[in-house]
């Protein structure tokens, strides 16, 4: 009896010892004593990526869109079964809500720092990204934002701060020049007093003044307002030809509508924050014919754009609102840097982010010494029949744009050649000469386009 | 060199000549103020009887708007006439809000009726957060567009533009206030309400069913909230699960400004607040020569509020209630 008991006790002890062993040396694969048929499964390592955007509040729809972009990227990466440093990598997304509020942004940033995330994607708003970037920099955590466009974010001298979108200096400048081209003489500027809205409005003003326009009114609202009649009435009294709004769609839509109700004939112009389907839904027919801009090229014009759009809508059953492709690229750039560094440690792969040369959905992603996207293009869109219609791309020098231009030039050459051929058979030498000149011109255009890039 | 003396406010003369703009700002303020007043009536109704600030009232307004969107929007999409859809939408919204108001009182406030005054205040804030999140789960995070229930007619008067909806809003809030005054001072229920407000214990000894009176106050306040929600929705044609918060805060300010607990005061406070905001945003920049811009419009409104409370702590039309501060 006693012997039996002691046997039981022994086995219990042994079991405990074994399980303790197992806990300590987790990565040790179960050694197959006989058949070495299947290779030992690689140990799995969880890489935590933080994602921050407003998931509640007036910009929650954009925050959800961003998070969906990140989620799509992470699912694809996990499906690929990436191996880094001899371990199978499983990415995990820690989604946080900063309510588009700078105070809350810092709180959740600290939370992510404490959770020891390997990298951070976000935040959505410049106003929350800038204060949070200090915390990430102090902790040495790389941060890539897909949508914070205020120039200050990357100008603070933090080695950890990157963005995959053109900044507001580029955007404001392009918009100012675009406004001047529209033939307006006087502009009124409204901003929502956030880091993004204010920054964009300032850059727009600078550019508009440089282009010879007159700023007749400088008005302000906030990012929770719905009533703009008072400031719009004032703008009406100043007789502006164009109203520029630095802010988001939730304010821009009703603003455009109220402009119409007040009988203001001025045009409406805005940046990326109002370049959304939501804006048109909220503004109704008041948005028709007006313009807005988005950093980067339109998805349809990009090699991988339509494919991304299909994947996104199929997975989430929702239209892309705004920044989802950029956030998707931000995650991919981070994973790509980890791959090149062959490490998931922040300190190890951080230097690799700066050397990124990644062919993403939105553009060829390369960073300058500040962490800004190299040669970010700005595209202008028009609201037409409830859809955003692409108008033109200003500035920038993305590879995609260059390729598109070269293609167009090549097509021109071909057309010209056809014309020559046609002309040669039917008409005389004069036509041939004209055709030859056209070919020459097209060839020069090609050359210029290539050189420009 | 002697500097030329400048007039203290060089821009006033210029702006007063633009009478059409001034009139437009008055209209803007009046409509905005009527919306505040309509919501403020709901606050004041409950406060007048129980001395409780129902912070969830802004959320009742929000739910009223969202329910109308769902009901009327679906009916319009199904091809029913707008009048019918609008009527159904508003009726369902009022019913839902009445149920909500009654439920709030039953669940969150009645058990705490004899608790210290701070306790129901905190449950009120709690209920506000619960309702917001509930609405987020039901209706989602996206902005919703309000179906056009009222005809879109634009009027022009002396250079100022206004729409039919704006006229309706001003009329509805004026009528609502009138109706409430009649209810409180001319009916038996109103008498019971006033008795309960003065002294619940004595009122109950006189045969007033306190529970029923207080529930009635909540029900009426919430029905008004639904109406306010429909008005806000048709005016801005946009709705969101967080729209009630700021609106509630402003309306509460309006109620305090006019003297909380006083129906006429809520109306006056709301319109005053609306006018201050519109005129503040419209003229403060020029009055100060660009030193203060339109981003000070809220500050301007709150300065007035602080001023009123300093010199007349019970609000513009508030009665001195002694123990009820």
Give the distance from residue B288's alpha carbon to the nearest chain A alpha carbon, in angstroms. Answer: 14
| Residues belonging to chain B with any Cβ–Cβ distance to chain A shorter than 8 Å | 15, 18, 21, 24-25, 28-29, 31-32, 136, 141-143, 145, 154, 156, 161, 163, 236-238, 240, 242-243, 246, 277-283, 285, 290, 293-295, 297
Rounded CA-CA distance A207/A213 in Å is 9
Chain B contacts of A60, Cβ < 8 Å? 136, 141-142
Chain B contacts of A218, Cβ < 8 Å? 285, 290, 293
Q: What is residue A9's predicted lDDT score, i.e. its pLDDT?
A: 47
Q: What is residue A81's predicted lDDT score, i.e. its pLDDT?
A: 86
Residue B315 pLDDT > 90, yes or no? no
A261/B142 CB distance under 8 A: no
- Domain extents for chain B? 28-140+152-241
Residue of A244, A258, A198 lying closest to A222 (CA atoms): A198
Using CA atoms of A13, A19, A24, A28 in order, give the dihedral in degrees to the nearest 10: 130
Query: What is the average pLDDT score of chain B?
Result: 87
Q: What is residue A442's predicted lDDT score, i.e. its pLDDT?
A: 60
- Report how far apart, in Å, the C-alpha atoms of A3 and of each of A8, A9, A14, A16 are: 9, 10, 16, 20
Do A203 and A171 touch, CB atoms closer than 8 A?
yes
Q: At what angle do helices B263-287 and B164-186 cross, to 10 degrees?
A: 140
Rounded to an integer, the average pLDDT of B184-209 is 92
Of A61, A220, A263, the CB nearest to B295: A220
- Domain extents for chain A? 44-166+301-366, 169-295+380-395, 401-452
Q: What is residue A353's predicted lDDT score, i.e. its pLDDT?
A: 94
Residue in B with minimal Cα distance to A225: B246
Residue A3 pLDDT > 60, yes or no? no
Record the tokens describing residue A361, joined without a space: 């959905």
Which of A59, A205, A234, A264 to probe the B interface (max B CBs under 10 A)? A234
Rounded CA-CA distance B306/B71 in Å is 41
B242/A282 CB distance under 8 A: no
**Nearest 5 degrees, angle CA A37-CA A42-CA A46?**
155
Beta-bridge partners for A92: A48
Q: What is residue A450's predicted lDDT score, i.e. its pLDDT?
A: 54
Do A97 and A32 touch, CB atoms closer than 8 A?
no
Percent of chain B beyond pLDDT 70?
Answer: 92
Per-residue pLDDT tens digits for B61-116: 999 999 999 999 999 999 999 999 999 999 999 999 999 999 999 999 999 988 89
Residue A29 pLDDT level (bands cut at 50, 70, 90) = very low
| Residues belonging to chain A with any Cβ–Cβ distance to chain B shorter than 8 Å | 55-58, 60-61, 63-64, 193, 218-222, 224, 226-227, 229-231, 233-234, 236-237, 250, 253-254, 257, 261-263, 278, 281-282, 284
Task: Name the phi and psi angles at A390, rounded to 5.
Answer: -70, 135
Q: What is residue A438's predicted lDDT score, i.e. its pLDDT?
A: 61
Count of helix runs (H) and strand runs (E) in chain A: 15, 15
Of A58, A63, A234, the CB nearest to B240: A58
Residue in B with minimal Cα distance to A264: B161
Q: Is the pTM of this model over 0.80?
A: no
Neighbours of A399 (CB within 10 A): 14
Record the tokens describing residue B135, joined without a space: 């609405």
Comparing A453 with B157, which gets the higher pLDDT?
Answer: B157
Q: What is residue A355's predicted lDDT score, i.e. its pLDDT?
A: 92
Q: What is residue A415's predicted lDDT score, i.e. its pLDDT?
A: 63
B236/A254 CB distance under 8 A: yes
What single-letter DSSP state applies at residue A224? T
Q: What is A169-295+380-395's CATH number, 3.50.50.60, 3.40.50.300, 3.40.50.2300, 3.30.460.80? A: 3.40.50.2300
B21/A236 CB distance under 8 A: yes
Chain A contacts of B18, Cβ < 8 Å? 237
Comparing A431 with A162, which gets the higher pLDDT?
Answer: A162
Rounded to an integer, the average pLDDT of A351-374 is 91
Per-residue pLDDT tens digits for A163-184: 998 888 889 999 999 999 988 9
Record the tokens describing residue B150, joined without a space: 């009222």
Which of B15, B31, B139, B238 to probe the A interface (max A CBs under 10 A)? B238
ipTM of the modeled complex: 0.85
- SS in 3 state form for chain B? CCCCCCCCCCCHHHHHHCHHHHHHHHHHHHHHHHHHHHHHHHHHHHHHHHCCCCCCHHHHHHHHHHHHHHHHHHHHHCCCCHHHHHHHHHHHHHHHHHHHHHHHHHHHHHHHCCCCCHHHHHHHHHHHHHHHHHHHHHHCCCCEECCCCCCCCEEEECCEEEEHHHHHHHHHHHHHHHHHHHHHHHCHHHHHHHHHHHCHHHHHHCCCCHHHHHHHHHHHHHHHHHHHHHHHHHHHCEECCCHHHHHHHHHHHHHHHHCCCCHHHHHHHHHHHHHHHHHHHHHHHHHCCCCCCHHHHHHHHHHHHHHHHHHCCCCCCCCCCCCCC
Per-residue pLDDT tens digits for A35-85: 445 556 678 889 999 999 999 888 888 999 999 999 999 999 999 988 888
Per-residue pLDDT tens digits for B141-185: 888 899 988 888 888 888 888 999 999 999 999 999 899 999 999
Lowest mean pLDDT among A9-18, B15-24, B102-111, B259-268: A9-18
Is A169-295+380-395 the same fold as A44-166+301-366? yes
Q: What is residue A19's predicted lDDT score, i.e. its pLDDT?
A: 45
DSSP letter for each residue of A339-385: HHHT---HHHHHHHHHT--EE-SSSEE-B-TTSPBTT--EEEEEEET
Residue of B13, B33, B37 lying closest to B25 (CA atoms): B33
Do A449 and A412 touch, CB atoms closer than 8 A?
no
Chain A contacts of B163, Cβ < 8 Å? 261
What is the second-level CATH architecture of the domain A44-166+301-366? Answer: 3-Layer(aba) Sandwich (3.40)
Q: What is residue B135's predicted lDDT score, i.e. its pLDDT?
A: 95
Q: What is residue A158's predicted lDDT score, i.e. its pLDDT?
A: 94
Q: What is residue A185's predicted lDDT score, i.e. its pLDDT?
A: 93
Per-residue pLDDT tens digits for A197-212: 999 999 999 999 999 9
Neighbours of B246 (CB within 10 A): 16
Per-residue pLDDT tens digits for B24-48: 999 999 999 999 999 999 999 899 8
């Amino acid at each position: 009896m006693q012997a039996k008991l002691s046997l039981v006790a022994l086995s219990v002890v042994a079991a405990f010892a074994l399980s303790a062993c197992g806990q300590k040396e987790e990565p040790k694969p179960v050694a197959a004593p006989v058949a070495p048929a299947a290779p030992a499964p690689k140990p799995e390592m969880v890489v935590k990526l933080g994602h921050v955007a407003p998931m509640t509040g007036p910009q929650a729809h954009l925050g959800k869109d961003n998070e969906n972009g990140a989620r799509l990227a992470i699912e694809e990466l996990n499906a690929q079964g990436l191996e880094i440093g001899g371990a199978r990598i499983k990415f995990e997304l820690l989604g946080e809500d900063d309510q588009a509020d700078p105070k809350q942004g810092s709180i959740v940033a600290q939370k992510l720092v404490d959770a020891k995330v390997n990298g951070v994607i976000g935040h959505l708003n410049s106003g929350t990204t800038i204060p949070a970037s200090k915390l990430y920099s102090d902790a040495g955590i790389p941060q890539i934002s897909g949508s914070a466009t205020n120039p200050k974010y990357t100008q603070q001298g933090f080695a950890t701060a990157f963005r995959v979108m053109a900044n507001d200096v580029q955007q404001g400048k392009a918009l100012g020049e675009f406004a001047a081209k529209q033939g307006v003489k006087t502009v009124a500027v409204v901003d929502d007093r956030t880091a993004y809205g204010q920054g964009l409005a300032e850059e727009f003003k600078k550019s508009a003044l440089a282009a010879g326009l007159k700023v007749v009114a400088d008005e302000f609202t906030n990012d929770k307002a719905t009533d703009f009649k008072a400031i719009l009435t004032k703008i009406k009294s100043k007789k502006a030809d164009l109203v520029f709004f630095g802010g988001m769609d939730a304010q821009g839509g009703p603003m455009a509508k109220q402009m119409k109700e007040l009988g203001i004939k001025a045009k409406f112009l805005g940046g990326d924050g109002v370049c959304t389907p939501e804006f048109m839904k909220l503004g109704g027919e008041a948005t028709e014919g007006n313009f807005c801009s988005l950093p980067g090229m339109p998805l349809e014009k990009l090699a991988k754009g339509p494919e991304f759009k299909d994947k996104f809508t199929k997975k989430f059953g929702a239209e892309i609102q705004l920044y989802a492709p950029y956030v998707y690229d931000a995650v991919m750039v981070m994973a790509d840097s980890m791959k090149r560094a062959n490490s998931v440690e922040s300190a190890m792969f951080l230097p690799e982010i700066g050397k990124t040369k990644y062919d993403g959905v939105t553009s060829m992603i390369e960073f300058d010494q500040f962490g800004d996207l190299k040669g970010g293009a700005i595209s202008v869109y028009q609201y037409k029949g409830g859809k955003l219609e692409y108008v033109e791309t200003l500035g920038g020098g993305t590879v995609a744009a260059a390729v598109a231009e070269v293609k167009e030039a090549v097509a021109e050459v071909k057309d010209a050649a056809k014309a020559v051929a046609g002309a040669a058979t039917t008409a005389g030498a004069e036509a041939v000469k004209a055709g030859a000149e056209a070919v020459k011109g097209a060839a020069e255009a090609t050359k210029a386009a290539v050189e420009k890039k | 060199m002697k500097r030329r003396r400048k007039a203290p406010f060089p821009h006033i003369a210029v702006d007063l000549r633009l009478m059409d703009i001034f009139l437009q700002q008055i209209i803007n303020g009046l409509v905005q103020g009527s919306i505040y007043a309509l919501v403020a009536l709901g606050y004041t109704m409950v406060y007048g009887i129980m001395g409780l600030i129902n912070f969830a009232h802004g959320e009742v307004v929000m739910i009223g708007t969202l329910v109308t969107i769902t009901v009327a929007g679906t009916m319009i999409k199904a091809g029913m006439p707008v009048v019918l859809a609008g009527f159904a939408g508003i009726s369902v919204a009022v019913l839902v809000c009445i149920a909500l108001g009654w439920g709030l009182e039953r669940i969150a406030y009645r058990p705490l009726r004899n608790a210290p005054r701070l306790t129901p205040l905190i449950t009120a804030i709690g209920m506000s957060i619960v309702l917001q999140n509930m609405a987020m789960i039901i209706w989602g995070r996206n902005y919703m567009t309000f179906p056009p229930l009222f005809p879109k007619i634009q009027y022009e008067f002396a250079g100022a533009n206004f729409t039919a909806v704006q006229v309706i809003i001003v009329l509805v809030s004026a009528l609502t206030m009138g109706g409430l005054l009649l209810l409180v001072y001319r009916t038996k229920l109103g008498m019971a309400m006033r008795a309960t407000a003065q002294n619940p214990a004595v009122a109950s000894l006189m045969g007033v069913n306190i529970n029923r009176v207080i529930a009635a106050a909540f029900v009426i306040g919430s029905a008004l909230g639904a109406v306010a929600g429909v008005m806000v929705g048709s005016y801005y044609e946009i709705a969101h699960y967080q729209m009630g918060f700021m609106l509630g805060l402003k309306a509460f300010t309006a109620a305090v400004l006019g003297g909380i607990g006083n129906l006429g005061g809520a109306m006056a406070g709301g319109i005053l607040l609306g006018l201050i905001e519109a005129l503040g945003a419209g003229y403060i920049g020029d009055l100060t020569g660009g030193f203060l811009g339109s981003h000070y419009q809220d500050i301007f409104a709150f300065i007035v509020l602080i001023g009123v409370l300093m010199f007349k702590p019970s609000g513009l039309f508030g009665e001195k209630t002694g123990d009820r501060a």
